[in-house]
Amino acid sequence: MHVIIMQPCMRSMIKEAVPVFLRAMGLIFSGLSEKLQETFQKLKRKGKLGEKDVDLALREVRLALLEADVSYKVVKEFVASLKEQAVGEEVLKSLTPGQQVVKIVHDELVRLMGETQSKVAPPDSDHSVVPIMLVGLQGSGKTTTAAKLSAYLKKNGSRPMLAAGDVYRPAAIDQLKILGEDAGIPVFSLGKDDPVNIARQALKEADRQGYNYLLIDTAGRLHIDQELMGELERIKESISPLEVLLVVDAMTGQDAVNVAKTFHDRLGLTGIILTKLDGDTRGGAALSVRHVTGCPVKFAAFGEKLDAFEPFYPERMASRILGMGDVLSLIEKAQDVVDQEKSRELEKKLRSQALTLEDFMDQLQQVKKMGPLENILEMIPGMNTMCKNLKGLSLDDKQLDRVEAMLSSMTVQERQQPEIINSSRKRRIAMGSGTSVQDINRLLKQFEQMKKMFKQLSSMEKGKFRGKQKGFFPFR
C-alpha cells in the first residue's frame, strides 16, 4: 500500500521529476485508453514506419473504438481521416513517426469531441433570466444533474433557481427539493400541476425575484414516446429556453446515440451532459453523441455528490485517453479544496524535513475532497505506466480510508512524534482502526520512505539551481 499526496505548493519541487515516478473521469475510458496506449507504444518503438505499420496500428484503433461501443459510422469516418493524415510523407519520413501518429490521433479525438469547451448561455439584455430545459429518458439522472448544474452556476457567481417540472415520477418533486436545499438553491413547485404552466410560472417568479438562471427538471420516460416529446415541445414553446440540454446516461452505450438524435430532431438540442461516468461503461456514447447530433458535450457528471460535476474539455479528455494526463484539471481541482496558507506551511516543512503524520493526515483529507483517487491519478502523466511497472502498488479510495482510520486512532502527540509509537501503542492503534499491527508498521515505514523521497526531490531542486549557476542543466 503506497499513498502519494501532492499539492500545488510542491509543483516547483517536482515539475521535472513527476514524469519519472508518477499517471476521473477515469473509469469511462479505461479500456479504450489502455488499448490505444499499447498500440502507440508499439509504434513509438519503431524507428521508421511504413504504410503497412500504419494500417496495422489503425486496425487496432478501429477495434478499440468498436469495443468501446463507439458508433460504427463514427469509427469508419474517424479511422479514414486518421489514415489520410498518417500515411503522408511528413509523418512517415519524420524523425519520430510514432509520436507524429499519436499527435494526429490526439487532434482527431479533440475534433470528434468538439475542439473547445462549450459554456452555457450567459444572461443578456434581452434575457434577464436564462431558461434551461434539462431533458432525457427516465433514469438518466436529470433531477440530480439539474441540482449539480445549479450548484456549479452558483459557485461561479450566478443566481440560479430550480423548477420541479417532473410531475409523474413518484417523489421526483421531493427529491429536487432535498437536493436544492443541500445546494442552497430555491426550488419552484406547483405540485402536480400542468408542466407547461409550471415552467411558465417558474420563469415569471425567477424574473420577479432577480434570479438569472432557471433550470427546469422535466419528465422522462423509460423510452421515447409521442406524449413525452409533445409535452417537451409545448414547454419549449412556452418559455423559449436558451439552452435545451440532453442528459445522457453514459452506460446506455449505442442507445444513447439514438436517443440523442431523436431528442435533437424534435427539440433542437443546444448541448449534452454525460452522467454516470464513474460506472462500468466503455465510453462510446461520449465519442458518438457529439458527432451524431452536432451538439457539444458541455458537462460531465460522476458520482452522487453535488460537486461531482465538471465542464467537459475535449482536449483534456483526449489527453487522458492517450495517457498524457490532465494537469490543468488536476490543478483546478486542487485550487478548489486546498487551504493556501496550509500549503505554504507544508512547503516549508517539506524543505526542512519537518513533515509529521499530523500534516500527512491533513493532506489526506484535502486530497479526498478532490474526488475519487482513480480519477485524480489518471490526470497525472505516466501514472498508468508506473502502476503497471511497480508490483504491489495499490492506489484506491479504500486504502485512503484505512490510512485515515489508522491516523485518526493515534493521539496528537503520536502523529507529531511517530518515533514514540512502540509495540503497545501500535496494538492500541490497530484495535481502534480495525487494522493489524503489520498495517501500522507498513504505514510508518512508508511515511519514512515518503520523507526520504521529498528529501531527494529537494536535493534535486538545489542541484539544478547550482547547475544553472554553472551554466548547465543536469536534470533536463
Indicate whether 282 and 309 sit together in one domain: yes
Through-space distance between the first and last CA atoms of the chain, rounded to whole angstroms: 31
Q: Where residue 48 sits, what CATH number does that domain have? A: 1.20.120.140
**Is 122 within a domain?**
no
- Among candidate residues 86, 113, 140, the one where a domain is terminated: 113
Answer whether residue 125 is part of any domain. Answer: no
Which residues span the domain enclosing 166? 130-321
Both 257 and 275 in one domain: the answer is yes
| Co-location of 331 and 421 in the same domain | yes
**pLDDT of the chain, 476 residues: tens digit per residue:** 334 344 444 444 333 333 222 233 444 556 677 777 777 777 777 767 777 888 888 888 888 888 777 878 888 888 888 888 877 666 666 657 777 777 888 888 888 888 778 889 888 767 789 999 999 988 888 999 999 999 999 999 999 999 999 999 989 999 999 999 999 999 999 999 999 999 999 999 999 999 999 999 999 877 778 888 999 999 999 999 999 999 988 777 677 788 888 899 999 999 999 887 765 455 566 678 888 888 888 998 877 788 888 888 888 777 767 765 544 555 555 555 555 566 566 566 665 566 788 877 877 777 666 665 556 655 555 555 444 444 444 455 677 788 889 999 999 999 888 889 999 999 999 999 999 999 999 989 888 887 777 666 666 555 554 444 443 333 33
Strand ranges in 319-464 using DSSP code E only, listed in sequence order? none
- Answer yes or no: do 294 and 362 share one domain: no
Domain identity same for 173 and 294: yes
CB 372 within 8 A of CB 301: no
Whether residues 87 and 138 share a domain: the answer is: no
Q: Is residue 71 part of a domain?
A: yes
Domain's final residue, options 85, 113, 141: 113
DSSP 47-61: SS--HHHHHHHHHHH
Q: How far apart are CA 108 and CA 118, in angstroms?
A: 18
Q: How many whole angstroms separate alpha carbon 154 and alpha carbon 102? A: 39
**Could you tell me if 186 and 137 lie in one domain?**
yes
Q: Are residues 312 and 331 in the same domain?
A: no
Final residue of a structural domain among 56, 81, 113: 113
List, in sequence order, every residue forming a beta bridge with 355; answer none if it has no partner: none
CATH number at residue 243: 3.40.50.300
Does residue 333 sit in the same domain as residue 305? Answer: no
CB 396 within 8 A of CB 1: no
Same domain, 312 and 222: yes
- Give yes or no: residues 317 and 335 share one domain: no
In this structure, are 199 and 296 located in the same domain? yes
In a domain, 476, yes or no: no
The domain tally of the chain equals 3
Distant-in-sequence contacts of 417-421, Cβ < 8 A, 24+ apart: 417/356, 418/356, 418/357, 418/444, 418/447
Distance of CA 109 to the CA centre of its chain: 17
